[in-house]
């Protein structure tokens, strides 16, 4: 990787009206000359196999982000480095088009992003997520998006095309009902209010949307679940999911340090309740157990989610069939002659 000598301010762009006020962090950007853009997921407890991540690290700076330890693979730290030393994959759209041209690719679902947010503020300057979505639209490849960014509204035209010719579902990650609490834990993320507004705008345009209440942090946001589901349904979401906080590797000290600073009066409650749903530990690394808890208190959280979801009217079955729409434009054109 090589450093970009004069990185752009991600908040100074033609799309800045969609972003929150700028933070004070000093950014260092790097260019990643990757040869592949499709990341293969081999975890048996995740519902997708392929993801695209145009950026490494994330300016959103969420204290709980499970992707933080992955930044250490590139020689950076999982703390402030994760949100200040960001990596840009400038050739992501070209690499994705090349992957779609391989005979071995038959059009599986691709998730944007399986690691860091594809609509973090850098996207306003570089537009790599939009360019990759345009490639998916050209090839009619099904897409799923998980984001906290309201900048997704900029790409409504591409999403409408994907919905019409392939398949697209946009999940908004919204774990807190209070803008003030969210700002303490997700300092550079668009407010909860803005995320729900973006969800409604997409839903009104016919784009399928959902809410991901992730992570559930016992002692901090489990009581927000009913309100979040109610607001999501009113904003047009028709699918909902949730998962328990994971504190893998070096994420644990980062998270605890920031929670002590933000919520000194609640940190004891948070750690005690987290241990109560993790069998005495703070985290769980085993597949099929790491995203859910155990014990009476976790059962109460699960019941709260299920009852609130049913009360507001979410369908019982959130699973959708991914259509087989993939086509290579060149071959389609050649078939006309």
pLDDT of res. 305: 98
Instruction: Determine, yes or no, domain membership for 328.
Output: no
Instruction: Determine, yes or no, domain membership for 208.
Output: yes
Per the structure, the count of domains in the chain is 1
Instruction: Determine, yes or no, domain membership for 68.
Output: yes
Higher pLDDT, 43 or 2: 43
CA distance linking residue 225 with residue 217, whole number of Å:
11
| 15, pLDDT greater than 90 | no
| 194, pLDDT greater than 70 | yes
Instruction: Determine, yes or no, domain membership for 320.
Output: no
CA distance linking residue 220 with residue 158, whole number of Å:
37
The per-residue pLDDT for range 203-252, each reduced to its tens digit, is 999 999 999 999 999 999 999 999 999 999 999 999 999 999 999 999 99
CA distance linking residue 152 with residue 146, whole number of Å:
10
Instruction: Determine, yes or no, domain membership for 227.
Output: yes
Q: How confident is the model at residue 115 (pLDDT cuts 50, 70, 90)?
A: confident
CA distance linking residue 283 with residue 320, whole number of Å:
31
Instruction: Determine, yes or no, domain membership for 272.
Output: yes
Instruction: Determine, yes or no, domain membership for 7.
Output: no
The rounded radius of gyration (Å) of the Cα atoms in the chain is: 20
Instruction: Determine, yes or no, domain membership for 286.
Output: yes
pLDDT of res. 334: 46
pLDDT of res. 14: 47
**Percent of all residues in the chain with a pLDDT value above 70, rounded to a whole number:** 88
pLDDT of res. 335: 47
CA distance linking residue 233 with residue 74, whole number of Å:
40
Structure tokens belonging to residue 265: 């009066």
Tell me which range, 6-20, 27-41, 50-64, 275-289, is most confidently predicted by mean pLDDT: 50-64
Task: Give which of 33, 53, 31, 32 is closest to 41, Cα–Cα.
Answer: 53
Domain limits at 198? Answer: 13-314
Segment 196-207 mean pLDDT: 98
CATH number at residue 188: 3.80.30.30
Greatest Cα pair distance, the chain, in angstroms, is: 72
Contact 200, 222 (CB under 8 A): no
Rounded to two decimals, the pTM is: 0.89
* 84: CB partners within 8 A, 6+ apart: 25, 26, 27, 28, 57
CA triplet 304, 176, 295: central angle to 5 degrees?
35
Contact 40, 72 (CB under 8 A): no
């Amino acid at each position: 990787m090589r450093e970009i000598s004069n990185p752009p301010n991600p908040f100074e762009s033609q799309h800045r009206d969609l972003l929150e006020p700028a933070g004070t962090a000093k950014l260092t950007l790097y260019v990643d000359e990757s040869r592949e853009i499709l990341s293969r997921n081999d975890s048996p407890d995740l519902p997708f196999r392929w993801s695209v991540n145009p950026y490494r690290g994330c300016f959103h700076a969420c204290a709980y982000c499970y992707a933080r330890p992955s930044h250490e693979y590139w020689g950076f730290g999982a703390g402030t480095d994760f949100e200040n030393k960001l990596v840009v994959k400038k050739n992501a759209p070209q690499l994705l088009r090349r992957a779609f041209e391989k005979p071995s690719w038959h059009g599986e679902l691709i998730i944007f992003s399986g690691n860091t947010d594809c609509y973090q503020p850098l996207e306003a300057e570089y537009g790599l997520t939009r360019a990759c979505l345009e490639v998916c639209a050209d090839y009619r490849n099904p897409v799923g998006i998980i984001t906290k960014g309201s900048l997704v509204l900029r790409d409504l035209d591409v999403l409408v095309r994907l919905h019409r010719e392939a398949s697209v579902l946009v999940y908004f990650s919204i774990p807190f009902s209070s803008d003030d609490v969210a700002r303490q834990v997700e300092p550079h993320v668009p407010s909860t209010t803005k995320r729900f507004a973006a969800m409604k705008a997409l839903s009104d345009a016919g784009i399928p949307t959902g809410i991901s209440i992730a992570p559930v942090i016992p002692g901090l946001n489990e009581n927000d679940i009913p309100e979040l589901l109610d607001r999501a349904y009113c904003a047009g979401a028709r699918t909902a999911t949730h998962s328990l906080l994971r504190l893998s590797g070096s994420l644990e000290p980062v998270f605890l340090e920031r929670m002590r600073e933000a919520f000194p009066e609640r940190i004891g409650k948070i750690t005690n309740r987290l241990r109560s749903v993790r069998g005495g530990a703070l985290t769980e690394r085993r597949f099929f157990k790491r995203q859910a808890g155990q014990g009476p208190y976790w059962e109460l959280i699960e019941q709260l989610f299920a009852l609130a979801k049913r009360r507001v009217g979410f369908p019982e079955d959130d699973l959708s069939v991914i259509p087989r729409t993939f086509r290579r434009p060149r071959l389609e054109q050649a078939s006309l002659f």
